[in-house]
Amino acid sequence: MEKNIAILASGNGTNAENIARYFREKGSARVALILTNRPTAYVLQRARALDIPALCFNKEEWADGQPVLQALQAHAIDFVVLAGFLARVPDNVLHAYPQRMVNIHPSLLPKFGGKGMYGDRVHEAVLAAGESESGITIHYTNEHYDEGAVIHQYTCPVLPDDTPDTLAARVHALEYAHYPEVIESLLQAL
């Protein structure tokens, strides 16, 4: 039976679009809902273009979690994917999806993770620390930012002349290549 995925995103939504297209092609699951916490997030435009229902919840609704949980249940969501989602997931939503909610982080956790560490901030920190490699971490979501059990990590080199933008490009390539495949493997285990 086809599984229903919800994607939580706060920004541009390139990962959300990549995941939606991947599963449209594969047919093993479908992105049935996109949720955001920002009314101006471009992911809403992507959802519209992909004909995927999308909802935006305000700060109070996210803090409460009940409206979010009701939306997930109304769309019969089996699995939740965070893709550039910058808010904390409420406990009641987390508890409704044990081992069925994943996040992606643009570094090799536990390095360069935690609240406030996202996007260019991560890449700047990697470069400032003189790291020789970076990458992505796909992990289960829990009550703490970027501290859930690691599922997979994929690496890329940090080059001597890297800027945050050039490093980000390699990290994004890893995200696009691996996140949908990892999600698919987790769905097959459900």
Phi/psi-derived region of residue 144, left when phi > 0, alpha when psi is between -120 and 50, beta in every other case: beta
Question: What domains, with CATH codes, occur in the chain?
Answer: 3-188 (3.40.50.170)
Q: What pLDDT, on the 0 to 100 scale, is given for residue 44? A: 98
Contact 183, 19 (CB under 8 A): yes
Which of 83, 115, 67 shows the shortest CA–CA distance to 9? 83
Place 96 in a pLDDT band, splitting at 50, 70 and 90: very high
- Helix (H), strand (E) at residue 139: strand 133-140
Bond from prior residue into 67 cis (ω within 30 degrees of 0): no
Q: What pLDDT, on the 0 to 100 scale, is given for residue 27? A: 83
**Other C-beta atoms within 10 Å of 115: how many?**
10
Contact 77, 98 (CB under 8 A): no
137 is in an annotated binding site: no
At 4 the three-state DSSP class reads strand
58 is in an annotated binding site: no
166 is in an annotated binding site: no
Catalytic residues: 105
At 157 the three-state DSSP class reads strand
pTM: 0.95
Contact 135, 154 (CB under 8 A): yes
Nearest-angstrom CA–CA distance, 179 and 152: 9
Q: What's the full length of the chain, in residues?
A: 190
**Other C-beta atoms within 10 Å of 173: how many?**
13
Contact 132, 105 (CB under 8 A): no
Place 188 in a pLDDT band, splitting at 50, 70 and 90: very high
Q: Which residues contact 31 (CB under 8 A, 6 or more apart)?
A: 5, 6, 7, 16, 19, 20, 23, 50, 52
Q: Which two tokens stand for residue 91?
A: 């406990």
Residue 122 reports pLDDT greater than 80: yes
